[in-house]
Amino acid sequence: MDIISFDKITKDYKTGFRKKKTALKDFSLDIVEGEVFGFLGPNGAGKSTAIKILLNLIFPTAGKAEILGKDVGDKGIRKFVGYLPENPYFYDYLNPVELLKFAGKTSGMDSFKIKERTEELLNTVGLWNERKRAIRSYSKGMVQRTGLALALIHDPKVVILDEPMTGLDPIGRRQVIDLILKLKSEGKTVFFSSHILEDIERVCDRIGILVNGVLRRVIDFKNEQLIKSLEDTFIEEVDKAGGLQ
Amino acid sequence: MTAVWSVALITFKEGIKNRVIFGIFIIALLLFAATTVVITLFMRDIVKVAVDLSLSTVSFAGLLTLLFIGVNLFGKDLDKRTIYMVISRPISRSEYLLGKFLGIVLLALTVVVFLGLMSAVPVILSKRFYYYSEARFDWMIYFIAVIYIFIKLAVVSAVITLFASFTSNSFIALVLSLVTYIIGQSTEGVKLLMASKVEKIDVSPALSYMAEIAYYVFPNISAFDLKTQAAHGLSIGPSYIIWTSLYAVFYIVIALSIGVLAFRRREFP
Amino acid sequence: MQRSLTTAILVSFALIGSIFAISRVSLERDNLHQKEGIGLVMPSQVAQIIALEFKGLFADAIFSRAMTYYGGKLIRAEKLSEEEWDWIYRNMDTATDLDNYFLDPYYFGATNLAWGTNKVKEANLLLEKAFKYRDWDWTIPFYLGFNYFYFLQDNENAAFYLMESAKRGASGSLIPILAARLAYQGKRTENAIIFLQEIIRKTDDETLKKAYETRLNALKSILFLERAAAAYQERFKKQPENLDDLTAKNVIREIPKDPYGGKFYIDKDGSIKTTSELR
């Protein structure tokens, strides 16, 4: 079974009186179990749009998306999905422990398990010592790490990360890479978008290149040896798509 | 149902830790202190003035809480995208909206309970200071009036929830809610005015028709204002309590239903 | 070093200057307020709509404002003009429209309006509103009864309201007696004295009490002169032409002084009056 499947997803936005912008056009993609899939593309390519459709934050104009075989509109499926938005914001008068409690409860965890996982995760992301401080006082990096904890508290089968490296220093980025690798070793499926090519190369089994709402190319590192560097390949695809729009 | 409660709880926590609420409490306490001084300016109806000021303070504080913190609790989600962390959980949009409403109502309840109890202090002091034999006062009526302040705040919360469900930013929701509150306080008075002016001035039928419609569409919030009754110990009949409470419940249900419908198709790009 | 010295001098200068300025400002503001006079009265219906849910508070504020103005005039020993009295009355009216049960404006109306300016009609309008709403309050019909009796010489209405007062539980058994007495014409001054004594008994406010007592003394003097005139009539079979006749014929030793500073005299119809009109 495909863990994630996009089936001819189109998303249009109204930008003016009769004008519209197409963020995604006939987008189809299948992610299999246990793989780490990297989503590449220039800014505004539609990566976040695709991810948000998966989380039922926005609705497709046409097409269908499924997670674990169920339509993304089914709220129950999100019990098994962990999500880190790009530029995450949290209720800033609260501290991560309270936020994690909320996240755990809504995902159906019991209090004991929540406590256990909270300690485990906050230690993993290095926030245990700051756990009683409100999010207001956190740096961007700390906020990002809180987001990671929130995405993983309920031990989801599918982890979806939208630009998880933003705001992190090299050490932080390294931690995220290690985390993704750890998730992979646990058999989880990871679907994430990023700009940072070297991280993508290091961690992904497959990557997809999205330009102007169209999936230009999917590269399977097992089967394909890249002739050019990933950077050149990326720029080549952008040029083939007619440049940025 | 636990989803609704979880959202309510986290909304409440975020609201109660807001610095603004601390400021509102300080303002209220200062007003209570001022009450004990202001009543000395009056002649005989001292207890009535104390009740006026005390209950008005509780009501005012409650409204400030809803308009500044309540609306902001929605605003954070809609403007600053904190909603992602909530909606991405296994929660439906309806559960989210209802949970938010409940959280704001809990906040209003806290304010009313805390300040309502404190408001009794200036009233007790006023009774010690001067109580003339023709004054009427009944603690039960006083606290019924306090409960009705809460009922009013619950209805306003539903209105705020309704506007938040389809407006694009929190400032618009704030303005719409405020205007609805003001209209809600006035519809009854305007309706009576129209009826009484029949002999004096020509009221165009279109105008009085509009006033009639407004009376039904907007919440008649003045029905929950029992300050005069509390100030003069005037009794409130059980049928009044039953019908006004039912009205509040029905109005809240309608407002929330419309909100849920509007919110179902809402996107968060 | 030089910078902070300059700053210090500047700030001290501004500080001293502002203290002088604010004391001048408060004088100027006082001047301004006095010239302003009374300003507009907000019509009742408008006030009721603007006040939203704070009608009681609004009523308190309107009453307080009018009272403060009145008090200020009293302190400066200035008399109020017809216009000013009218303004005060309309404020009391608006306040009691906002809160129908608010005693203070009714009380003020009863005690000051009727006595101060002969605005009895307005006082009674207020009191009649109070009579309708404050249906448990016996003092309202009591004041109404007094006004009808004393100012409007309408004994019928006076008796009616006095009985209402008794029905509402007026304390003191004098009320029904008074009501009965009023059924008869005549004996006006005597009845007024009894009435006033009852009112004084119920009054706690010292200033008010003194005012009533002054009036009571004046009335007692009038009663004294009335009785003297009747005795003169009895003895000499004709009415005295003026009060000096009473002392001349030794009916009384001396003419009492009018506490209001006027002079007592006998009117054409034979009743005792005073040039001060008890004001």
The domain spans of chain A are: 2-240
Residue of chain B minimizing CA distance to A90: B82
Instruction: Tell me the C-alpha distance between A200 and A231, whole Å.
Output: 11
Residues of B engaging A, defined by a Cβ cutoff of 8 Å:
2-3, 6-7, 9-10, 13-14, 17-18, 76, 80-82, 84-85, 87-92, 265, 267-269
Which two structure tokens, joined as six digits, stand for A229? Answer: 């560097």
The residues of chain C that CATH labels 1.25.40 are: 41-134
pLDDT above 70 for C187: no
| The CATH fold of domain C41-134 | 1.25.40
Residue contact B10–A98, C-beta within 8 A: yes
Chain B contacts of C57, Cβ < 8 Å? 52-53, 56
Q: How many CB pairs under 8 A join A and B?
A: 85
The answer, for B182 touching chain C at a CB cutoff of 8 Å, is yes
Q: Name the amino acid, one letter, at C277.
A: E
Contact at CB, B193 and C45, closer than 8 angstroms: yes
CB contact under 8 A, A94 and B13: yes
Q: Which residue of B has its CA nearest to A95?
A: B14
C-alpha to C-alpha distances, C225 to A86, C256, C272, nearest whole angstrom: 101, 8, 7
The 10s digit of each residue's pLDDT in C226-274 is: 888 888 888 888 888 888 888 888 888 888 888 888 888 888 877 888 8
Task: For chain A, 245 residues long, give each residue's pLDDT as a single digit of tens.
Answer: 788 999 999 999 888 888 888 899 999 999 999 999 999 988 888 899 999 999 999 999 999 999 999 999 999 999 999 999 988 899 989 999 999 999 999 999 999 999 999 999 999 888 999 999 999 999 988 999 999 999 999 999 999 999 998 878 888 888 899 999 999 999 999 999 987 888 888 899 999 999 988 998 898 988 888 777 888 888 888 888 887 76
Q: Cβ-count burial of C147 within 10 angstroms (0-12 exposed, 13-18 middle, 19+ buried)?
A: buried
B–C CB contacts, 8 A cutoff, strictly below: 71
Distance from CA of B33 to the nearest CA of A (A): 30
β-strand A189-193 against A36-40: which pairing, if any? parallel
Tell if the CB–CB gap between A78 and B269 is shorter than 8 Å. no
**Cβ within 8 Å, pair C104-B185:** no
Structure tokens at A245: 């729009």
At A91 the pLDDT is: 92
Neighbour tally for A123: CB within 10 Å? 13
User: pTM for the whole thing?
Assistant: 0.84
Chain C residues with CB under 8 Å of a chain B CB are: 45, 48-49, 52-57, 59-60, 63-64, 67-68, 99-104, 107-108, 134, 136-139, 204-205
CATH of domain A2-240: 3.40.50.300
Q: In this complex, which of B9, B88, B268 lies closest to A78 when CB atoms are compared?
A: B88
Q: What is the 3-state secondary structure (H, E, C) of B79-112?
A: HCCCHHHHHCCCCCHHHHHHHHHHHHHHHHHHHH
H or E segment and range at residue C178: helix C174-183
- Which of B43, B52, B182 faces C107 most closely, judged by CB atoms? B43
In the structure encoding, which two tokens stand for residue B234, read together? 């005037």
Q: Kindly give the pairing relationship between strand C272-274 and strand C264-266.
A: antiparallel
Contact between C104 and B189 using a beta-carbon 8 Å cutoff? no
* Distance, CA of B12 to CA of B99 (rounded, Å): 10
Do the Cβ atoms of B89 and A108 come within 8 Å?
A: no
